[in-house]
Amino acid sequence: MGSVKDLEVIVKPDEKPGRGRFHFSDRYSVFDYGEMPDVIEGKGKALCLTSAYFFEKAEEMGLKTHYLGIFDGKKLVRLDEVEEPAGVMEVKLFRVIKPVKRNGKYDYTPVKNAKNNYLIPLEVIYRNVLPEGSSVFKRLEKGTVTLEQLGLDHIPNPGEKLEKPIVEVSTKLESEDRYISWEEAMEISGLEESDVNKLKELTLRMNEKISREVEKVGIENLDGKFEFAVDENGEIVFVDAIGTPDECRFSFSGVQISKEVLRKYYRKTDWYARIEKLKLLNENWRDLAKPPKLPRDLLNVVSDMYKACCNEITGRKFFDVDKLSEVVKRLVEISEEYGI
C-alpha cells in the first residue's frame, strides 16, 4: 500500500465499502522518498495501538471513522481487550480513484465523477504551533503562501503558539504532495463548499481532542494531518491513521518526539542536499540517490520514543521501555552528539 503500511484486502470496495487490514510495519519514510534502508523496532505496533486509541475517542465524540478494531491474530477486539502489542488494524475500505496525468498535469475528472464511497484526494493539515522546520517558514520566504492566506498578521517565531490553528490542504494522490488553495481543493475533489467546511470543522475538533489527550501526559500537539473519505451515504469519515507521532508532530519538554528527529539527521547529510537538487530536475529522483543508514544508537532511541509515546498516551504499558521523560533525555544526548 505504501512505504510504512501494508494493506490486506478482505473485501474489495465497489459501490459499497470493502473491508481490509492495515499491517503497520517498522518501516519509515521521510521527504516523500518512500521506504528507507532501516527499520525501527516496535514502531508499527506502537502506531497501530495509538491510532486505535484516537479512533475510539473519535467514535465517543460521535465522529465517523473507517476503524473497525484491532485484529489480535484470532479475532477483532477493542483496545481495552488487547493483551499483547498488536500491529494489525481492521478498517472499512473505500475506492481510491486516482487522477490521470496528462501532459504533466493531473486530470481529476474520474475523482469528481465518483460521488460516494471514495477516498478524498486531499490531506488536511492543522498547525497549533510553527516549530523549527515547519514548511510554512520556507513557503513564506519563497512567497508561495502569504500571511493573509494563513490568517496571520505577522511571521511567528519558531515555537510560537498560534492564537488559533492554521488549517491547510495539500494533494494526496499525486507523485509529490503539493499545498493548494481551498478553492482548488474543492475543484479537484468534487466536494461542495459545505463539505469543505465540514473537513475544516472535523479537523479542528479532532485536533482539539488529540491536544487535550496528549497534554495529560505532558505532550504538546504542534501540528498534524488527517485523511478522509466519503462513505456510501455521502458522509465524511476519518481514514488512514490518526493521532500518532507519524501523523502528528509532538513535543515533550520542548523536544520534538516525532520522525522530525530523523528528518533533522538526514538534513545534515549529503544525500539530502542531493535529493533537493534532483527533485527540481528529474521526476525519477528517488532512483538516483539512495539514502544512508541511520546510526544504531539513534535508531534504538527512536524505537523507544515510539513505544514510550504509545504507553503514555494510551495509559497502558504495552512495551517494556523507560518512561517518556527518560527516553527524551537520551534522545537529547544522542541528538547533541550528532549535532541535530
Taking the domains of the chain in order of start, what are their residue ranges?
5-337
User: Cα separation of 20 and 70, whole Å?
Assistant: 11
Contact 247, 241 (CB under 8 A): yes
Residue 280's pLDDT is what?
85
pLDDT tens for residues 74-133? 999 999 999 999 999 999 999 999 999 988 899 999 999 998 999 999 999 999 998 877
Locate 20 and state its grid cell. 481490509
Residue 61's pLDDT is what?
97
Residue 175's pLDDT is what?
82
Which architecture does CATH list for 5-337? 2-Layer Sandwich (3.30)
- Nearest CA to 217 out of 129, 313, 306, 332 is that of 313
Residue 2's pLDDT is what?
66
- Nearest CA to 264 out of 131, 164, 93, 65 is that of 131
Counting as low any pLDDT under 70, the low residues of the chain are 1-2
